[in-house]
Every structure is written in structure tokens, then in C-alpha cells.
Chain A
């Protein structure tokens, strides 16, 4: 009965919303890895070809990575 109640709650509008938020959080965690790889990629690129603008790209990539982590944290807090 507990399992049936759990499934019924999950399929209700509010439960479905919570399930959706969990799925979105999981996707965002995966995106954090993508954002991290992008910081490594940009570091590789700036090492290969260095210009006055290199620090700008490094900063943007790091901000993007931090923003992804913060968004995961916000998502978990709001769950």
C-alpha cells in the first residue's frame, strides 16, 4: 500500500512537478561536467594560441562553470 501511495503521489500534479525538478537537477549535474570540460578546453586553446584576450575567455569559462554549480545548489535547495 505504501508503494502504491508513493506512486500515486508521484503521478499527482505536485508529485510530477517534484519528479521533474529531480530530473532537471540530474541534467544540471551532467551540465556541470560539460562546463568543467569547457574550462579545460579553453585553457588548452589559450596555451596553444595566446593573445591579449586570453584572460577574458578563461574568466568567462570559469564564471560559466561556477554558475552551473550554483544553479545545481539552488535547484537542490528549492527541491
Chain B
């Protein structure tokens, strides 16, 4: 299922957002580049390996008597709890990446922002209100892996949208510019 790992999707199947109009079509769904997940992925791998490493270390080190405190039942519970925390950490980070999306439809752009457990912010602006689109790639990793930010200036109440760390920001800028041009041309006709 490509939607689980792709950070740029064109005409995604069965992807809808809350507030979508009946005559509106989702054209593009974007997320931060998958490369931005590397940090927490390595943390999860480290957390997964930690119980094994600790067991090996305790086996090697000379006995101190502290081992008598660690009953087998306690060690079992602690290990299982550690793996549960690791899974929770993985799930929290993955859903934050998966659901923080930038959507371009036939009518508007939408920025969905979920942070932590209790913060949700959804901003949208009609395509016809977009005045200026700029793309930026800055930094070594960004340049190597071709991801960066797209800044969208609008005449709406929220004057600037930022599509942060998206893959191929030049292409995204071009897509939005073309859509805006088309919609404004159609308005004039």
C-alpha cells in the first residue's frame, strides 16, 4: 500500500479530508519527505536493541548483589513495558508524519497540522486567493535528497502557507502555479 510510505501522491485513491466539497477533487497529497523520519527510526531501532544490550552487559559485568533485586517476574514486566513504550513511540511518530499532510485539490490548498496528542490545526485557502509561490532548498541534506519548503502567499486571512520539507519543492511550486493560473484564467472567461 503505497500511501503508507509515499510522501508525494498524485490523484490518490480513496483519500478524502473533512470538509471536502462534493464537486471537489483531491489532486495531490504531500507530506514531509520520508528522510525526515530517519532520526526517530534510528531511535526506535536503538530502543528495540536496548534490552538485549543491557542483558549482555549485565552478564559480562561482575556480580554486585543488585541482581537479587531484579526478580525474573520484574525483569519480564520491565522488558515487555519497554517494548510497549517503543511501539507507542514508533506509532506516535509515524502517525504524526502520516497525517500531517498538505493537500491540493481542484479548488484549494489545505495544510493539516497535528502536533503531539492534543493539537490540531487545519488551514485552507482557495486557489484563486494565491498570489505568489516560492520554493526553497537549504542545507546539505536537503540538497542531496532534494527536499525543501514551498511558501505560498495568499490574500486570505492566513497570508502565508508553508509546505515544509516536501520532496521536489520545485515541482510542487510549478504544480501550484499552474493550477492557480488555470483557475484565474477560467475566472476571466
Given contacts A38-B92, A57-B98, A64-B91, 5 further A-B contacts (CB under 8 A): A14-B69, A28-B81, A41-B95, A48-B17, A57-B91
Dominant SS at the A interface? helix
| Chain A positions 36 through 67: 1 when the CB is less than 8 Å from some CB of chain B, otherwise 0 | 01100110111111111100110011001001
| Chain B positions 86 through 127: 1 when the CB is less than 8 Å from some CB of chain A, otherwise 0 | 011001100100110101000000001010011010100000
- State which size class the interface on B falls in: 35 or more
Q: Residues on B close to A: CB < 8 A?
A: 1, 3-4, 12-18, 65, 68-71, 73-74, 76-78, 80-81, 84-85, 87-88, 91-92, 95, 98-99, 101, 103, 112, 114, 117-118, 120, 122
Query: Taking CB as reference atom, which chain A residue is nearest B110?
Result: A49
CB distance from B93 to the nearest CB of A (A): 12
If A51-B3, A71-B81 touch, whether A38 touches B17 (CB-CB below 8 Å) is: no
Q: Is A24 engaged at the interface, CB distance under 8 Å to the other chain?
A: yes
| Chain A positions 59 through 79: 1 when the CB is less than 8 Å from some CB of chain B, otherwise 0 | 011001001100100110010
CB distance from A16 to the nearest CB of B (A): 5
Distance, CA A37 to CA B51, complexed state (A): 27
- State which size class the interface on A falls in: 35 or more
Instruction: Pull 23 A–B residue pairs with CB atoms less than 8 Å apart, ordered by A.
Output: A17-B69, A17-B70, A20-B74, A21-B71, A21-B77, A28-B81, A31-B81, A31-B84, A38-B92, A48-B114, A49-B101, A50-B18, A51-B3, A52-B3, A52-B15, A56-B4, A57-B98, A67-B87, A68-B84, A71-B77, A71-B80, A71-B84, A74-B77
